[in-house]
Amino acid sequence: MADKNSSLLKAEEIAAMAETVNIHQFNDKAVRHVRALSDSLGLKHIGVHLARLESGSESTQFHFHHCDEEFLYIIDGKGIAEIGDQQHEVGPGDFMAFGQGSQPHTLRNPFDEDLVYLMGGNRSELDICDYPRINRRMYRINGNKQYVDLENLHDVKQKPG
């Protein structure tokens, strides 16, 4: 395994890395098997992960970020990307990028073979992530996450004066 002073992960080192299983906090079907490439080389502000979705799994809860940006590059297998109200079959070589306030999106694997992709994005100290299908908003401040159901949000009224 590369040490923290290295700037290179060789393919055999990546293949030897243990996968971490991540289950999304708002979607039990969203089970990703990931290798944290950027963490292995000590990056703090950019996250890059080699991810694998087994058949029947989803990548996340349908969402969009107000502050962070993210990308996915399909390496192997195929999946269905939901972007806004459209669905697209994606496969090797396809690239998706989602800027701040982009359309909500998710990825799922309804096919028999695993779906493997590279995903990454920035790690802002502050991010707000909306989940429109479950009417929820999550706040991340300095790595700490909290959420609120949107029906519990209230506008701040300005007092005259």
Report residue 22's pLDDT band, with 50, 70 and 90 as the boundaries. very high
Q: How confident is the model at residue 3 (pLDDT cuts 50, 70, 90)?
A: low
Enter the pTM of the model.
0.90
CATH number of 19-125: 2.60.120.10
pLDDT in tens, 126-144: 999 999 999 999 999 998 9
The pLDDT tens digits of the residues spanning 75-134 come to 999 999 999 999 999 999 999 999 999 999 999 999 999 999 999 999 999 999 999 999
Show me where the domains of the chain are located.
Answer: 19-125
Alpha-carbon gap, residue 129 to 142, rounded angstroms: 14
